[in-house]
C-alpha cells in the first residue's frame, strides 16, 4: 500500500528509479528563519487584537460598603453626646436632691417658717391646726404641695389656695377666700352663702359687717348643683333690681327661692313687711310697680301683707292672707314706666345685719 506521506529518502529513490535527479534542499540561513518566525508571531498578535475588539468588558469587582453610612454615624455621635450630657445633668440633680432631703438646712423648724397670706375670715390658727401644722419638722422637699392645696380648698371659706416652697426652709401659702352674697336659713340656724351655693359659717369676731337678705326655700341637704342653680336666680334678681344704680336690693329682707317660677321677696317699709310675688322675670319692672302703688293699695286694703304682681294689668292683694279679709284683685290702670324714684328718707330697721 503506497504511503502518501513519503519521506525525502523514498522520494529520492523514486526519482532515481524514474530516471530523475534528486536535489537535496538547500540549507536556509539563520536570518531567514528568524524573519519567518517574527512574521508568524506578528500574525498571531494581529489575531489577538481582532479578538479583543469583540470581547465583553470585564466586570469591575464590587467594593463591599460598611453597614453604617456617614450620615447615620454623625447622628449616632450626636445622640451619644446628648445622652452623656443628660446623664451628667441627671446625676448632678440626683445628688442635689439627695443632699436636700437629708440636710438639716431644709427642715421646717417651727410655724414661723410657714407664711400665710390672703386669709381674712379663716384664721391662721385654723389653717395651721387643720392642714399645715403637720408639716412642722418635715424636710421642705417632703411636703406634698398638691395634697396640702386640696386640703386647704376643702375649708368652707377657702375658694382656692397656692402652696409653694421657698428655699431653704420656708413654705408660703396664699389663700383666696369666698365672697358671701346672702344669708341662708336652715331652721333656726343662719349661715352665709356665696354665689356658687357654698355654705359658710359666720366667723366669730369678724371685722366685716354683713348686711344681706336672708334666703329661704333652701335645704342644707340639697346638693351643691341645686343650691348653685337657686343662687343663680338670686343673683339675677339682685342684678336686675340694681341695674339702674338705685340699690333697690337694699330694701329686701328675705328672698324665697323655693319655687323657681315664683321668686318671692319680703320688703319692710315704715309701716309693715309685705310679701311680693315677682314670678321669674321682669323683676325691676314689677318692683317699680309695687313702689309706685303701695300707698294707694294700703288705702284700699287696710291689712295689706302680700301682693302678687305676676299677671299683666292686674294685681292680687293679700293672696297669702290667712285673716278674715279675702284676697282682692285690683287693676293697674296705668302701667308705670321704669324710671328712678325718690329714695325713702329713713331706711327700715328690720333688715337683718350681722357683725
With the CA atoms of 198, 204, 207 and 211 taken in that order, what torsion angle do they form, in degrees rounded to the nearest 10?
A: 60
* 252-256, strands of its sheet edge to edge: 199-200, 189-194, 180-186, 214-216, 252-256, 264-268, 273-277, 306-308, 314-317, 328-331
What integer pLDDT is reported at residue 344 of this predicted model? 35
Over range 344-349, report the average pLDDT: 35
C-alpha distance from residue 317 to each of 252, 300, 303, 324 (Å): 19, 10, 10, 14
Ordered domains of the chain (ranges, CATH): 106-177 (3.10.20.310), 180-331 (3.40.50.11690)
Tell me: pLDDT of 33 over 80: no
In tens, the pLDDT along 210-231 reads: 889 999 999 999 999 999 999 9
How far is CA 22 from each of CA 15, 28, 273, rounded to the nearest angstrom? 6, 18, 177
pLDDT, residue 327, reads: 59
User: CA–CA separation, 191 vs 184, rounded Å?
Assistant: 5
Position 207 scores a pLDDT of 43
Q: Residue ranges of the alpha helices (H) in the chain? A: 8-17, 30-53, 70-102, 124-130, 145-153, 224-241, 283-300
For residue 126, what are the contacts with CB-CB under 8 A and spacing of at least 6?
155
CA distance 259 to 256: 8
Find, among 227, 229, 255, 228, the residue nearest to 241 by Cα: 255
Q: In whole angstroms, give the CA distance from residue 119 to residue 125.
A: 11
Indicate if the pLDDT at residue 339 is higher than 70. no
pTM: 0.66
Give me the helices (H) in 242-353, please: 283-300
Pick from 49-58, 103-112, 296-305: least confident: 49-58
pLDDT digits (tens, 9 = 90+) for 295-319: 888 888 878 899 999 998 889 998 8
Residue 338: pLDDT over 50: no
Residue 146, helix vs strand vs coil: helix
Sign of CA dihedral 190, 195, 197, 198: negative
- For residues 251 and 273, give the distance between their C-alpha atoms in angstroms, rounded to a whole number: 11
Amino acid at each position: 500500500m503506497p504511503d502518501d506521506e513519503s519521506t525525502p529518502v523514498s522520494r529520492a529513490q523514486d526519482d532515481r528509479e524514474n530516471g530523475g535527479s534528486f536535489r537535496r534542499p538547500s540549507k536556509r540561513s539563520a536570518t531567514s528563519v528568524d524573519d519567518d518566525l517574527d512574521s508568524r508571531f506578528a500574525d498571531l498578535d494581529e489575531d489577538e487584537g481582532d479578538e479583543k475588539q469583540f470581547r465583553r468588558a470585564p466586570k469591575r469587582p464590587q467594593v463591599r460598603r460598611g453597614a453604617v453610612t456617614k450620615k447615620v454615624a454623625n447622628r449616632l455621635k450626636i445622640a451619644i453626646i446628648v445622652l452623656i450630657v443628660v446623664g451628667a445633668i441627671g446625676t448632678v440633680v440626683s445628688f442635689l436632691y439627695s443632699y436636700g432631703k437629708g440636710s438639716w438646712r431644709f427642715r421646717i423648724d417651727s410655724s414661723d417658717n410657714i407664711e400665710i397670706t390672703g386669709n381674712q375670715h379663716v384664721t391662721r390658727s385654723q389653717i395651721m391646726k387643720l392642714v399645715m401644722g403637720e408639716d412642722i419638722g418635715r424636710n421642705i422637699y417632703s411636703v406634698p404641695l398638691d395634697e396640702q392645696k386640696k386640703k386647704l380648698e376643702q375649708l368652707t371659706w377657702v375658694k382656692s389656695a397656692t402652696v409653694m416652697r421657698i428655699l431653704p426652709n420656708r413654705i408660703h401659702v396664699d389663700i383666696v377666700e369666698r365672697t358671701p352674697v346672702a344669708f341662708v336659713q336652715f331652721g333656726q340656724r343662719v349661715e352665709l352663702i356665696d354665689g356658687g351655693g357654698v355654705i359658710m359659717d359666720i366667723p366669730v369676731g369678724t371685722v366685716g359687717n354683713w348686711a344681706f337678705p336672708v334666703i329661704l326655700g333652701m335645704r342644707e341637704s340639697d346638693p351643691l348643683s341645686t343650691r348653685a342653680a337657686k343662687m343663680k336666680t338670686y343673683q339675677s334678681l339682685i342684678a336686675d333690681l340694681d341695674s339702674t344704680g338705685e340699690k333697690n336690693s337694699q330694701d329686701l329682707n328675705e328672698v324665697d327661692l323655693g319655687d323657681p317660677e315664683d321668686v318671692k321677696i319680703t320688703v319692710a317699709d315704715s309701716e309693715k313687711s309685705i310679701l311680693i310675688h315677682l314670678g321669674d322675670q321682669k323683676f325691676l319692672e314689677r318692683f317699680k310697680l309695687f313702689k309706685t302703688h303701695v300707698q294707694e293699695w294700703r288705702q284700699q286694703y287696710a291689712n295689706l301683707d302680700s301682693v302678687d304682681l305676676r299677671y299683666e294689668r292686674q294685681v292680687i292683694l293679700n293672696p297669702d292672707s290667712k285673716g278674715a279679709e279675702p284676697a282682692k284683685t285690683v287693676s293697674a290702670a296705668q302701667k308705670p314706666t321704669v324710671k328712678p324714684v325718690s329714695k325713702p328718707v329713713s331706711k327700715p330697721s328690720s333688715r337683718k345685719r350681722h357683725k
